[in-house]
Every structure is written in structure tokens, then in C-alpha cells.
Structure 1
Amino acid sequence: MIVNKSYKIVGATALALTLSLTPISGLLPDLTPSVFAAQPHKETPTVSSKIELKNSSFKKNGVLYVPIKELSEYVDLHITQTPNKKYVYINSPLESVRIAPKQSKAVNAEGTTIALEGSPIVKQGVTYVPSSLLAKSFGIKLKWEGKSSISLQVNQQYVSNSFEGMLFWLNRDNGTLLMGQAGSIPKSAGKVEIENIDWIRIQPRKINPSTFVIDATNWHGEPHIHETRIRVLINDRKIVKQGVTNFSNFAGMNTKSNVNGFKGNVAIMNGSKLQLVHPTGKVVKTYNLEALTGVKDDFVVEAIENDFLLVRPYIESTLFIVHPTRNKSALIYPDLLDEQTIKLIAEYPPNEVGYVGDALTYKGYNNKKLTFTFNHPLLSSNKTYSYTLPF
């Protein structure tokens, strides 16, 4: 195994070089520039902007048509479609309108019929609607500048997402979470414990017909090197439990997402406290990971099995294995890696750009053995390791 001896990086210089060469979307996991365009941070609530659309607007019989899905990325609109693809819903935090191709009328959340200047048009899989519908139903006024250019008041007070027709809206200003079925006006489920909202995404999933989980990730600070993760448990359309973890300065960039849960219970990390929570909000089991590992930090829980838990503190980003019922834990990488690699991991400053912790990735568990892959950017070889339970 060959180690690059000059692995020490000067923090400020490395950070400046990295940011000058790498688009910010490349520094944040699972995000693309289009996501940032859809959810920009704004100093003021409303900004007048000229936007270049990928799908050009057009006029037909004197009616201006705009690509509703693409346009929704710049305003508080979220577009959903019925499973049979018969109807499209244009949703906002205050209204929802149902449209259908070749129908010159729409229906709002109250069931009122709205006459359209022209029927919605589908061209090459893209749905276009009369711009007057947006002004009439949502107060969105725009000006066509020709071809793909439009001018409008960009205003995104909310970040939104949906799951199987259920929509979720998170207010950027006060953390209020709204939810409701497509075609209805959403109602408050409570407040999410989040601060410094900037570049944020929310990802909902369904536990059962009355229970949902929202995973929110917020990158903030300049240049967006601080990350906050929030998991929110919603039962009967009310927030019943939530947890928050934070890390800063790129440390722990290789950390995975928290595992969803275990045996029907939802895993909620709150700092260094892991709770397994019943879908109704009742706490079934609590683990104090700071006490178990001796590390004072926020944690990620990467695996939960009958025989063990795998947890990783953000700053050092090194995996611990924890016994589920005894007060025992063990740091994994010293038992797997060679002496030179252990020294590299131990001496590399956690706050430096490029720090990846122990560079171990959990792959699975079989016959009392855990499998890990090891991939460190400063080393020349990748390896797979088998690890026997230490308990």
C-alpha cells in the first residue's frame, strides 16, 4: 500500500483552490445545478428576474402558453399528475388547480370551474398552460420576452416535494410545514426545528396510510459548508417527533444518510441521541451515543441490526460498532487496516478539505461478519475487508 507522503493540506489554500475549480453542486451530495435553480437562497422575498427556459413559450390564437413544470421551479408551485395521467394538478401553498389536456376549463380546490383562454397543450411530453391561468389563480404575472425568455417576479417562500399525491411545503421563514393531498389546500402539520435555511431539500416517504417521514437537508453559511439534517415524523397530519444533527467545515463529507429505521420503528438522530420511535411518536428505545463511544459530537447511524449498530460521528467520521443492549462499543478501523494507514487517518486534520475519516463503507452482514470496502483518495489501492463482531 503506497501512501502519498504530502497528504497534509493547508486549509484556507485548499479550500480556495477547491472552490475555484469545483461548481458548488459538485461539493454537495446528490444535488445538481437544476435543483439549486429551483431552490435559490434569496435576500428578499421577491426578485424580478429574466429567466431562460429550456422549453420555449409560444403563442397560439393570441394566447401565451408557458411550460408549467419548468416554470414551477422559480415560484411556489408544485406540479403533480394523477396515476392514470388523466389530470395534472398545479399546486401552491394557498391553492390547487386541476387541468387536463384539450379541456378549456380547470377546477380549483373549492370545486369552482375556471374558464381558460385556451386548452392545455402537451408537446413532446411537456405540458403548456395559458399564462393567464397563473395570474388568475396564483397571482403569478409574467412577461414573454420572446422565444425562451420570460420575466417574472421570482418568489419562493417554500420548498416543496410530494409522495403519492401527498404534498409537503416547508416555509423558509418560520419552519412551518404544510401538507395536503393534491387538489386541496394544505394545512399546517407543525413547525420544523430548523434555522439558517438556505440551500435546502426535503424528501418525504410513507410509513403507513397515516404516517410520513420527512428528511430535510440544509446547506448554509458561505460557501455552504455547514450541513443540517432534520428528520420529521408525521402522524395523522401532525408532527409528533423530530431530530436535528449538524456539522460544519466539510468534516464528515463521506457520511451516509441515516438508516430509515428498525423493525417498524423510525430511527431519529438528535445530536448524539438515537431514538427508535413508533410511527405514532412513542419512543421505543434510546441510545446515548456520546456515552457509548466517548465521542462528543453529532452522529449518523448507518446500520441497525439485531446484533449491532453502526454509528459515525461527524467530525472524525470514523465508524463505531455498538452492542444494542450492552454498554459496549468499538472503533472499527484500527482492527482492519495496516499500521501506516491507521497513522494517516489518525494524523489527518478533520477540518481539512479532503478529509474522509476512515474511508470505510459498510456493505452488509452475514454469518456474524460485516463486510466493508476501503477507498481512500490518498492511497493507491481499494480493498474489501471482513470484520468479525467484537462482542
Structure 2
Amino acid sequence: MTATAAASDTRSAIATARSIVVKIGSSALTSLEEGLDHAALDTLADAIEARMRAGSDVVVVSSGAVGAGIAPLGLSKRPRDLATKQAAASVGQLALAHAWGTSFGRYGRTVGQVLLTADDLARRTQHRNAQRTLDRLRVLHAVAIVNENDTVATTELRFGDNDRLAAMVAHLVQADALVLLSDVDGLYDGDPRRGGATLIPEVTSPEDLDGVVAGSGGALGTGGMASKLSAARLAADSGVPVLLAAATDAAAALTTAGVGTAFAARPNRMSARKFWVRHAADTQGALELDAGAVRAVVDRRRSLLPAGITGVVGRFHGGDVVSLVGPDAVPVARGVVAYDFDELGEMLGRSTLELPSELQRPVVHADDLVPL
């Protein structure tokens, strides 16, 4: 790595962040033969404790529940069917939480387990409840250990992987930085296991990713470089700088941030509400827009008025998140709709001045609208 990369503004921001989310991959904590690697977990806890003693608040997003349950259940590989995955998670989650509690207990730290599903962050009320729980654990000086609730999550309710969960949590707790730790030491322009690949020390714009080939996860995890890259871009786009590094380099990653690949954050942090609309909330329907309305909401960031709506898809209610699609049926934005689907029927294509006073609000206000 060059000296310039090691001393970049992004790395300095990560090294000095007062609030940080640390995500740890399954491969760093478990093995198929032995289950949980307690020595590796202790080393990671040591690095996290040092960061907390230096003055930072740390939330841990820990993978490994399914991996930790494989060996105790006598399985020879990661299960593929949902029921066995959930059984392994139910066994492994207990062992994982206990192991973190024992490890941080060496420092007199208390840990709190927070299990989330995608539905918890998709629903605004549950989203706020999760936020309050994590904040209260911080105030009480406990270490939050966050994981996806694999025992109940189905395909439809999953984050997809804990890399994405970590990016969501980083924004949820308004973290100043996100550190992704796994079995890879950074982002390469190809598969480093095949030789000839070059480490990319810093990502400052999408152009830095031209030609990058990212692969899927390994035997114990569901992520892989593709999910890490997606999560890093998600967090950076929302205003959180990201460091992708090897778990074996945790001490350096959590002090100087002079290892791995750093992802620069966008200059202006996205508001919590807009982040929820864009990345967390499920859409309940769609509004079809004409070309003029697309230009208004995407280019000029204006509120959506009924005159520009040509069609309504789905059954939704005021306060739901809907997708806004252009004449070519391609989604161009998401937003919180102000009216029920049946109310909009009599409003389509009409000027606001033609409508009764109670229907003169924007269909989607600019403050509740996020272009894609």
C-alpha cells in the first residue's frame, strides 16, 4: 500500500471515528470441524476493547451462528435447506452469544444480543425500536452483538448477508465508520487466489471499480466479495466511510486503519428517513409517471403532483413506501405516498387546483422522495 493511501482523509476519518460498527465474518470465527474458534474471537475482542478504551462507541455485527451450530449438530457442511439452517442457527446463536460474553467478560464488559430481520428495519416503528435499543446499550456501556435472526428469517425476510445488515446498522446508529472484517485483506481487481490480482487500496468513486470482478461466499458464509462490495457502496453512499480488511489485521484496522481497502463516503450524509425509504422499507405498490414528472422528481427534486401520474399499481395506503416508475416501466425513485390507492384514482392527471382542498397535498412530498 502506498503512503498516500495509508494517510488518506478517508482512513483518518475511520481511525478517529467516535462511533463505529465492526462486522465480523463467519470464516473469521468458525470452522466446519471445530465450530467456534475461541482464540480468534478473543483476539478480535481484544482489538475492539482497545478501540473502546480509546474513546469510541462500538457495535459488533457478528456472523457465525449457523457455522457455530454445524459441529455440535454433527453436520459435515453448511446446510442448504431452510429448516436445518434455522436449527443450526438456534444452536449456534446461543454458543456465539455466550462466547462473546465470556470474551468481553475478561474486561468486565457486558454484552447484549440484538437479533434482527429485514422486516424489523423495513417497518418504521420497529426500525425506531431497534435504534433505541442499540442506543440504550451504548449509554449503559454494554457491547451490542448484532446478528440476523436466522432462526425465523425466511428468504423473503432476509437481509441477504450480514455485510448488508452491517451497512444498515451503521446508518441506523449514525456511526462515523464501518469496518468489515473477514478472511480477505481488501478489494482486488480479480480473484487473488488465482494470482495476478492487484489490491485496490482506496475507492473514491465508481470509476475506481471499473473492471473489478467480485465472487460469492465460501463454505461457511453467505457473503463473499460481491456482498462486501455492495455493502461498502451502500454505506459509503449514505455518508459512512468503510474499511474492508482481514480479521487477522483487526488491531491495525481499528487503530490506524492503514490496512485493506478504504471506501470514501459521499460528502453529505443521507437523512435517516431518506435512507430508510431508499434501502430499508419494502415498497407496497407503484406509481406510473409521465416523462415530465420523471424530470421533476429526479432532476429538479420536486414533489410529485397528481398531474404527472398516469397509473397506479397495487393496493397501498397513505404512509406506505411506493416505487415511482417512468414511461419505460423502469423505477426512478421511491417515496412515501400521502394517499390510499383508491383515493388516487380520481386524482390522476389532474391539476392540484382542480381538486378539493383536502386532496391538494403532493402525492409524494420532496422530503419523502429519494431518486434511485
Question: What TM-score does the superposition give when structure 2 sets the normalisation length?
Answer: 0.27
More helix by share: 2
**Quick check: which one's strand share is greater?**
1
Higher relative contact order (CA 8 A, sep 6+): 2
Q: Indicate the structure (1 or 2) with the bigger Cα radius of gyration.
A: 1
